[in-house]
Amino acid sequence: VATYSSMYVTMNARALMNFLSLRTSREGSHFPSYPQREIEMVAEKMEAEFARLMPLTHGAFEKSGRIAP
Protein backbone atom coordinates (compact mmCIF):
# COMPACT_ATOMS: atom_id res chain seq x y z
CA VAL A 1 0.00 0.00 0.00
CA ALA A 2 1.38 3.38 -0.98
CA THR A 3 0.44 6.74 0.44
CA TYR A 4 0.59 9.91 -1.59
CA SER A 5 0.42 13.39 -0.14
CA SER A 6 0.39 16.77 -1.77
CA MET A 7 0.48 20.26 -0.36
CA TYR A 8 0.40 23.88 -1.38
CA VAL A 9 2.63 26.29 0.52
CA THR A 10 3.10 30.04 0.28
CA MET A 11 5.81 32.00 2.06
CA ASN A 12 8.11 34.91 1.46
CA ALA A 13 11.88 34.55 1.01
CA ARG A 14 12.67 35.34 4.64
CA ALA A 15 10.24 32.69 5.93
CA LEU A 16 11.64 30.18 3.42
CA MET A 17 15.20 30.84 4.62
CA ASN A 18 14.08 30.31 8.21
CA PHE A 19 12.36 27.04 7.24
CA LEU A 20 15.46 25.86 5.36
CA SER A 21 17.80 26.72 8.23
CA LEU A 22 15.69 24.59 10.58
CA ARG A 23 14.83 21.72 8.24
CA THR A 24 18.10 20.99 6.42
CA SER A 25 21.36 19.64 7.76
CA ARG A 26 24.37 21.33 6.13
CA GLU A 27 28.07 21.58 6.88
CA GLY A 28 29.07 25.12 7.69
CA SER A 29 25.68 26.28 8.90
CA HIS A 30 25.89 28.66 11.85
CA PHE A 31 23.28 26.75 13.84
CA PRO A 32 23.37 22.96 13.24
CA SER A 33 20.03 21.26 12.64
CA TYR A 34 19.04 17.59 12.85
CA PRO A 35 15.72 17.25 11.01
CA GLN A 36 13.80 14.07 10.32
CA ARG A 37 14.71 12.71 6.89
CA GLU A 38 11.21 13.07 5.43
CA ILE A 39 10.97 16.82 6.08
CA GLU A 40 14.59 17.28 5.01
CA MET A 41 13.74 15.74 1.62
CA VAL A 42 10.92 18.27 1.19
CA ALA A 43 13.20 21.12 2.26
CA GLU A 44 15.89 20.03 -0.23
CA LYS A 45 13.42 20.25 -3.10
CA MET A 46 12.19 23.63 -1.88
CA GLU A 47 15.78 24.87 -1.63
CA ALA A 48 16.55 23.75 -5.18
CA GLU A 49 13.65 25.89 -6.44
CA PHE A 50 14.71 28.77 -4.20
CA ALA A 51 18.25 28.65 -5.64
CA ARG A 52 16.86 28.50 -9.19
CA LEU A 53 14.38 31.36 -8.79
CA MET A 54 16.36 33.66 -6.45
CA PRO A 55 20.08 32.92 -6.95
CA LEU A 56 21.38 36.15 -5.36
CA THR A 57 19.22 35.77 -2.26
CA HIS A 58 20.14 32.10 -1.96
CA GLY A 59 23.82 32.97 -2.32
CA ALA A 60 23.55 35.54 0.48
CA PHE A 61 21.76 32.95 2.63
CA GLU A 62 24.61 30.47 2.10
CA LYS A 63 27.29 33.12 2.66
CA SER A 64 25.75 34.23 5.98
CA GLY A 65 25.92 30.71 7.44
CA ARG A 66 22.35 29.78 6.46
CA ILE A 67 20.79 32.30 8.83
CA ALA A 68 17.65 34.13 7.77
CA PRO A 69 17.93 37.92 8.19
**Which residue numbers are catalytic?**
23
Q: How far apart are the first and last CA of the chain?
A: 43
What CA–CA distance (Å, rounded) separates 50 from 55? 7
CA distance 60 to 4: 34
